[in-house]
Structure 1
């Protein structure tokens, strides 16, 4: 693959878009961050500057340009990679992936950062001018967690995965190739089982959340237990992921989703609302 452009475009100036813009701008790479709301762009820029002030030693910082969606063409003209970082709404992601294919040169790699929807699912039934450049680039919580899962389709050009693996390493990620299409990639499939069993233990009254997290941390020597981790992620997000798994896989138990729905219906979404499995207002 011949590269004439060297910028990376992030579509969506939320939490992940901001963090990924920071990561991809390291090593001097120019980055465009695009959003429909100028207020989101301002917040993202402030957050990125805060991350940069914490660097020790300072990284080589590439320029970050903020653009509204109407100026997306400007970003695409300079980019070899564009990553959508939109909310976990399948219809929204399908719409933007179609738009990106329409607007982007066929050589530009188009990636989704979705945590629950595979790029195959996002692309299903859509009509593309270049269907060999789509991938998932699933990140966790950069820069603190630098793991990046790279997953293509059976149509993805063979040179794209090695290129992304190499570029990701250069920019401070620890990339892993998901070798076959997998809903939940690698880590989230394993983590989903831990979450699900944790919720079943709580729903059945086998142990309290405090006891679950204390035991988990004592055995595995981790800073957070599964209950606290779910609260940090947001119980509404956890529920949406569980509902998605239940749609595509047989045998997913109802109990964990019932337990989550009760909390979500009360507005107890975790850290962001002050209460979830644990109460943070105290």
Structure 2
């Protein structure tokens, strides 16, 4: 990806103790963000559902998993949090922290791994598929990766089966505000990167209505890079529940549902064919159930 160059080796690399402190801080933040998002989504389940009063308010169910390295040593793990309710048909808010060694083939694709194949990665990944076709589906993730170099990545993008200009504008505005607080160049760059990344070549169309996407973020100011990544999570937590509350009790019909199911097929095609996060998880021995949590509970193809 040409928009942000991959991180060069640090001429004055931080000490091992500093790296460990950074890992702990990032891991703790992803866990806190997970908890805050789950609380907000469960509150929407309590408040909404007027159109699905046949269903009880959903609650997240946790499933912990452990990863083993190829040599059988512990390689970290994570926690899946999945809820199926009356507002959220299926939503997963997963956290993971994994470590080990990249395969020789995969190491060539990862900055810093050709010099040393050891890696550590922690992050949060969220995908929500909604009961109502009027409520946009959404994806968000942020992560911190350490090889012989280190960087942040992530973003969020809106995926409405039935796009509404107001919702798209508000979603973009929230992320623009987070970007502008750190660097005015971030939003146009990361917005364009999102549009490019979530383009589906074989359909010649976008997966959704965009957002931001960034990777290899290592400006030399780790504290600001971490603060920006936190602000991305906060921006998502601020705007997306508002969009859900705005649309979740609007009437919809079977034609709307058909539109939603066909759109979900498009979403699944991208995630299975092109998504780098899916590939990274599978190539590093992650939990397939957690990695494929992004797939919708029901979909159709025309």
TM over 0.5: no
Structure-1-length-normalised TM-score: 0.29
Structure-2-length-normalised TM-score: 0.28
Q: Which has the higher contact order (CA 8 A, sep 6+)?
A: 2
Higher helix share: 1
